[in-house]
Amino acid sequence: MSDDEADPELLELLRKSLGISSGPPAAPETKVLESASFICDNSIDVALDMYGTQSAAESIWSQMQQRGYSRKSWSEHELHPSKEEMGDEDRLNFIFTMDLLNFSFWTERDGDSRFAVDYKDKRWTGYWALVAALRRALEEGIEITSPHFWHNGDMTIDTIRHVFRSATDDEMPLLQERFDVMIEAGEVLCMNFESCISSLVTSADHSAPGLANILAEHFPSFRDESRFEGRKVRFLKRAQIFVADLWAAFDGQDWGDFDDIDKITMFADYRIPQILHTLGSMSYSPPLDAHIRAKREIPPGSSWEIQLRGCSIWSVESIRRQIKRKHPDAELNAILIDFFLYDAMKELEKKAQESLTASKENADVREMIPHHRTRSIWY
């Protein structure tokens, strides 16, 4: 070995001590699926049912095929922004704002008296009420999706109260928190990304988990993490659904072009656990089951809440693996299963509502378990 060739082992030792990695940078990982597996292995109040998972996988896959459910289904929702009506920058801003605020729409009310937004001659509730309110504001000339507007002092809490005003006397939950996360996001975007969502997305260099990690790193309101059995666990629900919404809205191209989109997991919200339980894929201990049916709140960060969220992520992963086992050519990932389950849940809820109102006395609607009630900005 010539004098100027250093000993490779010595070099490696030096690199390790200086924390310099030798090989190519490791591919970004969110560690969400790993968290979900750990939670599921240590859950005693939520359990996955193997047979329920197998039958859920079959019915989900056959329904997805019957409906031709795909990434394009996202843009078929009448309130989601299409490329015909919004330029790329406006759509980026719209989707970022939507997923910055995509949390906690449930209230103590249900039925016709719950929080709702009237828009385009329809009454929208839940997530769709958020999307409708953003559209309504833009049509009223309020730049509610612009990071500049959040940061230049023009936006006040009264702006938010006006933008998200309800058609009933039941107000959108957490209005102050929604205002706070917009102010915070405006500051972070101004300091780190020239107030441009495009700069934020570009910084991930086409990595889906990379973009989710960047959101969690720079924006506290996207840092959806907890501790369980002495370990940090990550859910990153809104960070991941932002990536997934970009991927779907831009049909896997341009701002939706990610090399590793399949590393995104199901989004741990309060709707998917409900349908996973209804499908028999997930079951609850008697105390937890009773608590949820009584519509009692479950504190954020509590063991029950973390078990519900972690087991839901693992349940959708098990369903995905089951579908791939039976149908190796199936083109699908956790995102599409999740989106499908959310849409299916909303259809179920609508049918249950209609049959309850239509024939209250003999409604044989199997009393679907309610969704769990945790109040937080994470989902």
Ligand X SMILES: Nc1nc2c(c(CN[C@H]3C=C[C@H](O)[C@@H]3O)cn2[C@@H]2O[C@H](COP(=O)(O)O)[C@@H](O)[C@H]2O)c(=O)[nH]1
Q: Which residues are catalytic?
A: 269
Q: How far is the CB of 271 from ligand X (least distance, A)?
A: 4
Q: How far is the CB of 159 from ligand X (least distance, A)?
A: 22
Pick from 219, 235, 284, 339: which binds ligand X (CB under 6 A)?
Answer: 339
Q: How far is the CB of 21 from ligand X (least distance, A)?
A: 34
Q: How far apart are CA 235 and CA 256, in angstroms?
A: 21
**Interface with ligand X includes 106 (CB under 6 A)?**
yes
Which tokens is 176 given? 């102050």
* Closest chain position to ligand X (CB): 126
Tell which residue, 241, 274, 248, 247, has the closest CA to residue 259: 247
**Interface with ligand X includes 269 (CB under 6 A)?**
yes
**Interface with ligand X includes 271 (CB under 6 A)?**
yes
Contacts of residue 220, defined as CB under 8 A and 6 or more positions apart, other chains included, come to 184
Burial class for 232, CB neighbours closer than 10 Å (0-12, 13-18, 19+): exposed
Q: How far is CA 70 from CA 95, 328, 339, in A?
A: 19, 17, 9
**Interface with ligand X includes 250 (CB under 6 A)?**
no
* Site map (CB under 6 A) of ligand X, residues 85-104, x = contact: -----------------xx-
Q: If DSSP states are collapsed to H, E and C, what string results for 274-289?
A: HHHHHCCCEEECHHHH
Pick from 270, 284, 304, 314: which binds ligand X (CB under 6 A)?
Answer: 270
**Interface with ligand X includes 105 (CB under 6 A)?**
yes
**Interface with ligand X includes 267 (CB under 6 A)?**
yes
Give yes or no for a contact between 97 and 372, defined as CB atoms under 8 angstroms apart.
Answer: no
Q: How far apart are CA 174 and CA 105, in angstroms?
A: 9
Pick from 273, 338, 373, 377: which binds ligand X (CB under 6 A)?
Answer: 338
Burial class for 315, CB neighbours closer than 10 Å (0-12, 13-18, 19+): buried
| Helix or strand run (H / E) with residue 208 | helix 208-218
Q: Tell me the window of 24-32, 133-141, 194-202, 270-278 that interacts with ligand X (CB under 6 A).
A: 270-278
Residues that bind ligand X (rule: CB under 6 A) add up to a total of: 18
**Beta strands 122-124; 46-48: pairing state:** unpaired
Q: How far apart are CA 343 and CA 338, in angstroms?
A: 9
Given its phi and psi angles, is residue 19 left (phi above 0), alpha (psi -120 to 50 degrees) or beta? left
Q: Tell me the window of 27-35, 167-175, 192-200, 262-270 that interacts with ligand X (CB under 6 A).
A: 262-270
Q: Closer CB to ligand X, residue 57 or residue 316? A: 316
Q: How far apart are CA 92 and CA 242, in angstroms?
A: 10
Q: How far is the CB of 152 from ligand X (least distance, A)?
A: 28
Pick from 15, 77, 83, 350: which binds ligand X (CB under 6 A)?
Answer: 77
**Beta strands 231-234; 225-228: pairing state:** antiparallel
Q: How far is the CB of 341 from ligand X (least distance, A)?
A: 7
**Interface with ligand X includes 127 (CB under 6 A)?**
yes
**Interface with ligand X includes 61 (CB under 6 A)?**
no
**Interface with ligand X includes 343 (CB under 6 A)?**
yes
Contacts of residue 28, defined as CB under 8 A and 6 or more positions apart, other chains included, come to 207, 209, 210, 213, 260
Q: Closer CB to ligand X, residue 151 or residue 372? A: 372
Could you give phi then psi for residue 81, rounded to 5 degrees?
Answer: -70, 130
Pick from 61, 74, 115, 164: which binds ligand X (CB under 6 A)?
Answer: 74
Q: How far is the CB of 345 from ligand X (least distance, A)?
A: 7
Q: How far is the CB of 196 from ligand X (least distance, A)?
A: 24
Pick from 126, 173, 301, 370: which binds ligand X (CB under 6 A)?
Answer: 126
Q: Tell me the window of 22-30, 85-93, 185-193, 337-345 that interacts with ligand X (CB under 6 A).
A: 337-345
Q: How far is the CB of 129 from ligand X (least distance, A)?
A: 8
Q: How far is CA 312 from CA 108, 225, 305, in A?
A: 24, 15, 11
Q: Closer CB to ligand X, residue 272 or residue 323? A: 272
Q: How far apart are CA 131 and CA 101, in angstroms?
A: 10
Give residues in contact with ligand X (CB under 6 A).
74, 77, 102-103, 105-106, 126-127, 267, 269-272, 338-339, 342-343, 379
